[in-house]
Structure 1
Amino acid sequence: MARIGVLALQGAFREHRAALERLGAQVAEVRLAADLDGLHGLILPGGESTTMARLMTEYALWEPLRAFHARGGQLWGTCAGAILLSGEVQGAPPQFGRQDSLGLLDVTVQRNAFGRQIDSFTTGLDVRGLDGAFPAVFIRAPAFARVGEGVEVLAEYEGQAVAVRQGRVLATAFHPELTGDDRLHELFLQGCLTPA
């Protein structure tokens, strides 16, 4: 059985936990480096990426998360979590300067690519590996403005990449945890149980 962590510093971690539990996974909320022990995978949820980055600094999680990935852990970032996984971040508020990220995904991510909170929307997306349209919820969503050579694009919206995968790192610009459709969580679980 897969044992999956959800980074529980801020954002939609409870919704991810519920989706994983519906699929029969063992789920742990991760707030400290020690919480990563024994996990097959980790989800970085949607929320507010600058706040999450600040809390990751406060809880000294940057290097433990990189080490978790280096020793074989699977990672999935949704919305803000996708921003935190990226190699380069564009569009951070000027008062924050350059936004920190884990640099585990060879993409440039553009924050708020689809507008502000008021511009939120849901649309059906064709996602590689899934049968039928997936109901993607976009809330202040980023887009992957540049995708590196080794990165597979799994879904696009209006010509922009919104779901990508590189090795053991999955990232979605939208919020699968808010839909009740657990197929992307199931896809992530399958990856966690497949030997690298």
Structure 2
Amino acid sequence: MDHTIGVLALQGDVREHLAVLARLGEDAIAVRRPAELAAIDGLVIPGGESTTMIKLAKIFELYEPLKARLHGGLPAFGTCAGMIMLAERIEDGIVGQDTLGGLDITVRRNAFGRQVDSFEGDVSMTGLDAPVHGIFIRAPWVEEVGDGVEVLARVADGPAAGRIVAVRQGSLMATSFHPEVGGDARVHELFVDLVRRARAERTDETKRD
């Protein structure tokens, strides 16, 4: 294997993501320090609490290196709070809330409601041959996407029908739901493919240089 995938390990569903990646046979590490960030070819940003993770990233001196690597082309996959952290714009955020950015989207925090409004449901997602079971916990949804953003999934029915819950832009992707919960690793496989393609492109560019 010629790549390493990190999971941002400041708060949230870190172990669950590491377990899914290990099940796929990936070399996966927890990322808490700049040196670990420098050693990876792709990054998963887990669910949790987005403002807390941003604060901890600054405390651990990861915030600026993270932004630099993401805007330099590091593939990343954000789930729930990770989607918020990758968004360029936030609705209903706290005053002065920072993000890492990279995805040309506007997200609404806690769009589906509070913890008691958490729910589960099947989600049809581009690139998968059958629906994935989506677990939504205080989840955001995407209000708006930029021209370069591909919508991968929307809510199929219910009061939130049509709301965008999965997107991809270049080597970045994000979901409102938690694919790391349960036994289905197919969403992570989509991300692993992004990492492999990005690494292959970098290798080709190096050869041309």
1:165 aligns with 2:163: no
Deviates more, 1:171-180 or 1:58-67: 58-67
Report the 3-state secondary structure (helix = DSSP H, G, I; strand = E; otherwise coil) of the residue aligned with 2:180: helix
Among residues 116, 119, 127, which one is paired with 1:118 in the alignment? 116
Instruction: Kindly report which structure 2 residues correspond to 1:142-157, keeping only aligned pairs within 5 A, or say none.
Output: 142-157=140-155
User: How far is the alpha carbon of 1:67 from its aligned partner?
Assistant: 2.2
Q: Percent identity?
A: 51
Report the 3-state secondary structure (helix = DSSP H, G, I; strand = E; otherwise coil) of the residue aligned with 1:181: coil
Which blocks of at least 5 consecutive residues in structure 1 are unaligned?
none
Find the aligned partners of 1:70 and 1:147 in 2 and give their Cα distance: 18
Question: What's the Cα RMSD here?
Answer: 1.1
User: How far is the alpha carbon of 1:190 from its aligned partner?
Assistant: 1.1
Amino acid at match of 2:130: G
CA deviation map 1:60-93 (0-9, x unaligned): 212211222244321111000110010011112x
CA contact (8 A) 1:89 1:109 kept: yes
Instruction: Kindly report which structure 2 residues correspond to 1:127-142, keeping only aligned pairs within 5 A, or say none.
Output: 127-142=125-140
State the TM-score, normalized to the length of structure 1: 0.95
1:185 aligns with 2:183: no
CA contact (8 A) 2:105 2:145 kept: yes
Instruction: Kindly report which structure 2 residues correspond to 1:65-84, keeping only aligned pairs within 5 A, or say none.
Output: 65-84=66-85
Instruction: Kindly report which structure 2 residues correspond to 1:93-104, keeping only aligned pairs within 5 A, or say none.
Output: 96-104=94-102
State the TM-score, normalized to the length of structure 2: 0.89
Based on CA coordinates, which of the two structures has the bigger radius of gyration? 2
Equivalent residues, number: 193
Find the aligned partners of 1:185 and 1:16 in 2 and give their Cα distance: 9
CA deviation map 1:1-53 (0-9, x unaligned): 23100000000010000000000001110011111123110000000111111
Deviates more, 1:185-194 or 1:60-69: 60-69
For 2:21, the equivalent position in structure 1 comes to 20
Higher strand fraction: Structure 1 or Structure 2? 1
